[in-house]
Amino acid sequence: MDVFERMTDYDYGEVHLKRDAGTGLRAIVAIHDTRLGPALGGCRFLSYAREEDAVVDALRLARGMTYKAALAGIPHGGGKSVLIKPPTPHFDRAALFLAFGRFVEDLGGRYITAEDSGTGLEDMDVIRTVTKNVCGVDQRNGGSGDPSPFTALGVRRGIEACVKFRLGRGSLEGIHVAVQGVGHVGYHLCKELHATGARISVADVDPLKAERAKREFDATIVSLDQIFDVECDVLAPCALGSALNDQTVPRIKAGIIAGAANNQLATPSHGDDLNARGILYAPDYAINAGGLINVALEVEGYDVDKARERTHKIYDTVYEIAERSSKTLTPTYRVADLMVEEKLARLAKPSWQPRS
């Protein structure tokens, strides 16, 4: 793998690697851009078939965090960390995350970590013992707790914006939303949607999670293979990335795609395909910024009411993107990218200092 070529593809930046033989830590920290502030982004702890896949995951996700923060008006750049899960089940998790926390501390405040796929509050609390450059710690330790409800709130507001723009409806009552993935965020999204009176279909690799959504929110369960064939108003991808690809895009029967997953478009061309089909796509980093908004407030002093107020503004952002797209006949993902790139272009250099 040509790492520098990949960095060029994603307009980087910095990539830091760390190996700790004693704990089995193999960590990648990708810092995409720091013009708006220190890079902020979650820590993934997953198994990867190849190390190259882990590097690409970090690069793509960190770039997405830059765009997400810029569009949400957060004073942070984009970063991401990927920890490759040890192949053996017998490892000391706490020791591994302590080693990772020291790695984050060594970066001198240029990167602030948080939870992501495969990590949780307990891991962030361990990291917190060796560095202040961590968000999303337990509320008992002065943090904001699980960001999933705020991500789900922002996605619900984004769905409402799309429904208003495309269907002229001021509420989600009776609107049919098909949710792909009902894990942390997907579950809370279903909770938000149910409270509005929306109809819900769900699919998940874990049948117990799907059954929970059926039991609590009267959701209809469909198979993973069928979720993209459901005739619905809104399709909400809330699982892993690249859900919108050559196989799925031609099958979609929804007029709106608005979900919580990162990197939903397998390639930019799939955004063009959706636009050509007349499907309104809410760019993922615009609609799923609620969790980032929530944890970012820990840096300046956490205030739950302020976090909720800022998350509600995702409605305005998504509506503006849809409006600009319609007026210029430009795919929504390109409109969102342009809004961010114009903002970043005005900043020649960083105007912040690492926290002391």
Q: Would the annotation count 108 as a binding residue?
A: no
β-strand partners of 46: 84
Mean pLDDT score, 153-157: 98
User: Domain residue spans in the chain?
Assistant: 3-67+77-141, 148-342
Give CA 192 to chain center in angstroms: 18
Residue 144: predicted pLDDT: 83
Which of 43-57, 99-113, 140-154, 254-268 has the weakest average pLDDT? 140-154
Tens-digit pLDDT profile for residues 58-77: 998 999 899 999 999 999 99
pLDDT band at 355 (very low <50, low <70, confident <90, very high): low
3-67+77-141 matches 148-342 in fold: yes
Residue 69: predicted pLDDT: 96
Residue 155: predicted pLDDT: 98
User: May I ask the CATH class of domain 3-67+77-141?
Assistant: alpha beta
Q: Is the CB of residue 289 less than 8 Å from the CB of residue 310? A: no
pLDDT band at 228 (very low <50, low <70, confident <90, very high): very high
Helices 304-312 and 314-328 cross at an angle (nearest 10°) of 20
Residue 259: predicted pLDDT: 98
Architecture per CATH, 148-342 = 3-Layer(aba) Sandwich (3.40)
β-strand partners of 256: 234, 280
Residue 136 has pLDDT above 70, yes or no: yes
Tens-digit pLDDT profile for residues 166-195: 999 999 999 999 999 999 899 999 999 999
Cα atoms in the Cβ-side hemisphere of radius 13 Å centred on 340: 27
Q: Is the CB of residue 289 less than 8 Å from the CB of residue 154? A: yes
Mean pLDDT score, 120-145: 88
Tens-digit pLDDT profile for residues 74-127: 999 999 999 999 998 899 999 999 999 999 999 999 999 998 889 988 999 999
Q: Would the annotation count 184 as a binding residue?
A: yes
pLDDT band at 214 (very low <50, low <70, confident <90, very high): very high
Would you put residue 40 in left (φ > 0), alpha (ψ -120 to 50) or beta?
Answer: beta
Residue 266: predicted pLDDT: 94
Residue 141: predicted pLDDT: 75
Peptide bond into 259 cis (omega under 30): no
Residues with a catalytic annotation lie at: 80
pLDDT mean across residues, the chain = 94
Mean pLDDT score, 18-27: 97
Q: In sequence order, what are the residues at sequence separation of 6 or more whose Cβ sits closer than 8 angstroms to the Cβ of residue 90? A: none
Q: Would the annotation count 318 as a binding residue?
A: no
CA-CA distances (angstroms) from residue 280 to 131, 287, 302?
A: 42, 13, 34
Q: Would the annotation count 130 as a binding residue?
A: no
Would you put residue 153 in left (φ > 0), alpha (ψ -120 to 50) or beta?
Answer: alpha
Q: Would the annotation count 154 as a binding residue?
A: no
Strands 14-20 and 25-33: antiparallel
**Cα–Cα dist 25/3, whole Å:** 20
Total-model pTM: 0.88
DSSP SS3 for 239: coil
Q: Would the annotation count 185 as a binding residue?
A: yes
Q: Residue 260 has what DSSP assignment?
A: S
